[in-house]
Amino acid sequence: MPFDTEDNTFLLPGPVKMHPRVTRAMAVPAVAHRGTEFAKQSQEMNRLLQQVFQTQAPVVTLTGSGTAGMEAAAVSLLKKSDKVVGIDNGKFGNRMCKLAAMYGDATILKAEWGQPVALDELERTLRTVKPKALFLTHNETSVGFTNPLQEIARLCREHDTLVVADVITSLGGIDVPVDKWGIDVAITGSQKALGVPAGLAYVSVSEKALSRMYKDQGFYLNLPKYVAKVAEGQTPYTPATHLYFATIEALKLLLQEGLENRFRKVRAQAEAVRGAVAAMGLELFPAEGYASDTVTAIKYPQGVDDSKFRKALKDTHSLIIAGGQDDVKGKIFRIGHMGTVSFVELAGGLAAIETELVRAGAKVNRGAWLAPFQDRMP
Ligand SMILES: Cc1ncc(COP(=O)(O)O)c(C=O)c1O
């Protein structure tokens, strides 16, 4: 049977499966984007975003993917005379560092992909460089790795360094209490844990960050311009109105479930998947103790070809998972579990994965995955 784009098991680490209520929310007529009705809806969306970001700070919305939010932070905060430190230990941390270096005077702390940087080295760097900001990616989707953001933010506060965090695949899936941890600029994208179509970046801006931003840098991506209008439910340029409607629906679904409940579910699913792949005899890619709860990255066993394997999953089992990117292309595969995906879908996915690994000649402990997976089922 040919692959059905409307009926399959979708386990990418973003975009993620969307609830039908979210896509249905967009099936409405055109709206006057400067009218009072839309302004009220925008204000509602902003309030819901603040709840999900766990912040009192304004959360602004840019039309663009997550990277637009990342660049907006860099262009609004940094001039070539500003010192900035970046953490590069994955594809997206590397992107944050490139942006930091493009706009500011950057010092980059590097580690192998999926390995943490030493916190004492970070502390020393903050003390000697005295940067205006630290740029990092919290959850490295590329390698299924989570940086210890809370500890890193604590060090930054001690050195009066602003924390600019890409929380694109953590916020909404993993607990990221923006105010409590002191994240000055937190950036996420619509198509990840929030389960909205791609096309929006949501960015929280602390008072301290705002006071240190440049009002005359960047045009479309100047964050102070967005902050100035957010309270009235307006944006400097035409907003992607219907993506706002989708966002409101998705945020309501998430808040109805309850943030704590969602984080617990995502954690349990991550543990179930990790337990299952270990029982199969497979290894995770990231350093031990740093595995992400929203995406699991698994090393291919000897002899399994990435494109053939994922083609078989798609063509034979209607299952979509991700491969590796850039440096780890062909070496890992990735399973996303950050949104409304169910345990039942994950179980089906794992059964198909094991089947195709066996067919590809990999040595796996057949059937051993089920018990540890079931142990984490609700
Ligand atoms: C952690 C992280 N940061 C940044 C990005 C880039 O986001 P976008 O593709 O929406 O620009 C992604 C996308 O996969 C991501 O996972």
Instruction: Map the chain to HEC letters.
Output: CCCCCCCCEECCCCCCCCCHHHHHCCCCCCCCCCCHHHHHHHHHHHHHHHHHHCCCCCEEEEECCHHHHHHHHHHHHCCCCCEEEEEECCHHHHHHHHHHHHHCEEEEEECCCCCCCCHHHHHHHHHHHCCCEEEEECEECCCCEECCHHHHHHHHHHCCCEEEEECCCCECCECCCHHHHCCCEEEEECCCCCCCCCCEEEEEECHHHHHCCCCCCCCCCCHHHHHHHHCCCCCCCCCCHHHHHHHHHHHHHHHHHCHHHHHHHHHHHHHHHHHHHHHHCCCECCCCCCECCCEEEEECCCCCCHHHHHHHHHHHHCEECEECCHHHCCCEEEEECCCCCCHHHHHHHHHHHHHHHHHCCCCCCCCCCHHHHHHCCC
pLDDT score for 162: 98
- pLDDT, one tens digit per residue, over 222-273 is 999 999 999 999 999 999 999 999 999 999 999 999 999 999 999 999 999 9
pLDDT score for 268: 98
Give the binding-site residues of ligand 1, using a 6 Å CB cut-off: 14, 65-67, 92, 137, 139, 141, 166, 168-169, 189
CATH number for the domain spanning 308: value is 3.90.1150.10
Q: How far is the CA of 216 from the centre of ligand 1 (A)?
A: 26
pLDDT score for 60: 98
Clarify whether residues 228 and 184 are in a common domain: yes
Clarify whether residues 290 and 225 are in a common domain: no
pTM score, whole prediction? 0.97
In a domain, 4, yes or no: no
Domain extent at residue 236: 20-257
CATH number for the domain spanning 232: value is 3.40.640.10
Low-confidence spans in the chain with pLDDT less than 70: none
Clarify whether residues 292 and 365 are in a common domain: yes
- pLDDT, one tens digit per residue, over 155-172 is 999 999 999 999 999 999
Q: How far is the CA of 198 from the centre of ligand 1 (A)?
A: 10
Clarify whether residues 239 and 292 are in a common domain: no
Q: Which atom of ligand 1 is nearest the CA belonging to 92?
A: 3
Clarify whether residues 236 and 269 are in a common domain: no
pLDDT score for 2: 86
Q: How far is the CA of 13 from the centre of ligand 1 (A)?
A: 10
pLDDT score for 65: 98
pLDDT score for 142: 98
Q: How far is the CA of 92 from the centre of ligand 1 (A)?
A: 7
Q: Which of 222, 257, 292 is the last residue of a domain?
A: 257
In a domain, 269, yes or no: yes
In a domain, 119, yes or no: yes
pLDDT score for 362: 97
pLDDT score for 199: 98
In a domain, 1, yes or no: no
- pLDDT, one tens digit per residue, over 333-364 is 999 999 999 999 999 999 999 999 999 999 99
